[in-house]
Amino acid sequence: MTDEMGRREFLKRGTVAGVIATAGIPMAGALGRAAGAESVGEHAADAARATAAIEPALAARRMDSKEFCLSEYDAITPASAFNATSATAAKRWQQRARKKLIERLGGFPATKAPLNAEVLETRDFGTYTREKIAFDTRSNLSTVGYLLIPKGGTRPLPAVVCFSGHGKGLPDIVGLDDDGNPRAARNVGYAKEYALQCVEHGYVTFAVEQLAFGTRRDDAARRSGPGTESCRPAACTALLFGQTMAGWRTWDAIRAIDYLTTRPEVDAKRIATLGASGGGTTSLLTAAVDERVKVGVVSAYFNTLRDSIVSISHCPDNYVPGMLQDMEMYDLSGLVAPRALFVESGRRDPIFPFAGFEKAVAKATEIYRTFGVPQQFAYEVHDGAHEVHLVGAFDFLKRSL
């Protein structure tokens, strides 16, 4: 599997990878065979052919697009990087940096449109009930989500807002087949039905459909099948407007929290966000900009932008114009602090490399120490690839939420 594989192509192969990981089959050999990954020798041969294809007269020139991007990265001194040395200075930094982040995301609407929430159906699953809810996030945009409410526990309960990553959208995290019925199998794909895991741990869980996934795709993507998202046209159009898909999804998440605060089953002071991959992006950004989030959980995403988004091909929904002029991904942890943050990564994640995760964790650890709350940041490493783990995450949620 090459470094240049984009997230979409990886996820097309993700079902096989998830089955292999769940079954305990050695990943390197099995995934290579299942996904048609190149051997080390083949990769070296390809590299040699690519080098040979360069005209001798150009061999000494700097022609590589990735190397150019990395050199530009190295030349930048981010204007809003976390540089505080005390908790007081850190709080002053937050005020400036959070405002700048929202600007980079494209800004948020000046006013909140009415939610116009409607419960479309309610189903009983024995230990929990599931409500399908539609609501408006803007005057011209709606979303849908599944509210999973455990039957046990003392009301009001803590709540987790879950966001899916690339794939089929809500079915991946709620465990539904292509016909909308509950799947018999569990631990499917890289998401492993993490919304179901949340309600099984006793949390009111709001699994919200992200824009350009599932039911919120465009017509062309729907015609292509349930696994095709419409991120690329929508995210690129957002850039034409001076906005971003990341900003649009973060605003949707803010409105989902608005809805949760209207529910009597929910303790509005104990709300967490949780997501993997593209859902991890939204979880982190929402926790960074909305201080109602008490705990942020980020799986298969937390990294340095240099090692992941800059160096490896990703969906355009990851790109925020000018972001690196201000801060790196790990600086976002400073916008969550002193509130709680948990991050996790697989050692063999090919699109959010482990080396970048280690660097980002080291920086986030320093940031939380500066705030004087090192216990509010935690992380876990597992032996999988691009997939959720959530063992330490649920222990952390139990302590922090």
Q: Please report the DSSP string for 281-329 in residue order.
A: HHHHHHHHH-TTEEEEEEES--S-TTTTTTTS---GGG--TTHHHH--G
Sign of CA dihedral 331, 333, 338, 344: negative
Cα(first)–Cα(last) distance of the chain, in Å?
A: 38
pLDDT recorded at residue 76:
97
Cβ distance 195 to 214 under 8 Å?
A: no
Tell me which residue range forms the domain holding 243.
Answer: 75-400
| Integer Cα distance of 261 and 204 in angstroms | 12
Structurally, the chain folds into a number of domains equal to 1
pLDDT recorded at residue 12:
43
Longest dimension (CA), the chain: 74
Residue 261 lies in a domain: yes
Question: Per residue, what are the HEC states of 53-80?
Answer: CCCHHHCCCCCCHHHHHHHHHHHCCCCC
pLDDT recorded at residue 228:
96
Q: Cβ contacts of residue 292 below 8 Å, gap of 6+?
A: 257, 261, 268, 271
pLDDT recorded at residue 51:
54
Cβ distance 355 to 318 under 8 Å?
A: no
Residue 79 lies in a domain: yes
Q: Cβ contacts of residue 82 below 8 Å, gap of 6+?
A: 90, 93, 97, 327, 331, 334, 363, 367, 370
Q: For 345-366, b where at least 16 C-beta lie within 10 A, e where not — what string?
A: bbebbbbbbbebbbbbbebbbe
Cα–Cα distances (Å) from 101 to 293, 326, 396, in that order, read: 17, 8, 27
| Integer Cα distance of 165 and 283 in angstroms | 11
pLDDT recorded at residue 31:
33
Burial class (CB in 10 A: 0-12, 13-18, 19+), 75: exposed
Type of residue numbered 190: Y
**Prediction pTM value:** 0.88
Residues 346, 351, 356, 361, Cα dihedral to 10°:
-50
Cα–Cα distances (Å) from 252 to 136, 193, 201, 257, in that order, read: 9, 21, 25, 9
Relative to beta strand 340-346, strand 118-124 is unpaired
Residues 347, 353, 355, 361, Cα dihedral to 10°:
-90
Q: Report whether the peptide linkage leading into residue 78 is cis, meaning its omega lies within 30 degrees of zero.
A: no
Helix (H) or strand (E) holding 279: helix 278-289
Burial class (CB in 10 A: 0-12, 13-18, 19+), 367: buried
Residues 6, 169, 300, 271, Cα dihedral to 10°:
150
Residue 65 lies in a domain: no
Quote the DSSP letter at residue 213.
Answer: S
pLDDT recorded at residue 52:
57
| Integer Cα distance of 24 and 306 in angstroms | 31
What is the CATH number for 160? 3.40.50.1820
Residue 29 lies in a domain: no
Per-position pLDDT tens, the chain of length 401? 344 344 444 444 333 333 333 333 333 333 333 333 334 455 555 555 555 577 888 888 999 999 999 999 999 999 999 999 999 999 999 999 999 999 999 999 999 999 999 999 999 999 999 999 999 999 999 999 999 999 999 999 999 999 999 999 999 999 999 999 999 999 999 999 999 999 999 999 999 999 999 999 999 999 999 999 999 999 999 999 999 999 999 999 999 999 999 999 999 999 999 999 999 999 999 999 999 999 999 999 999 999 999 999 999 999 999 999 999 999 999 999 999 999 999 999 999 999 999 999 999 999 999 999 999 999 999 999 999 999 999 999 999 99
pLDDT recorded at residue 362:
98
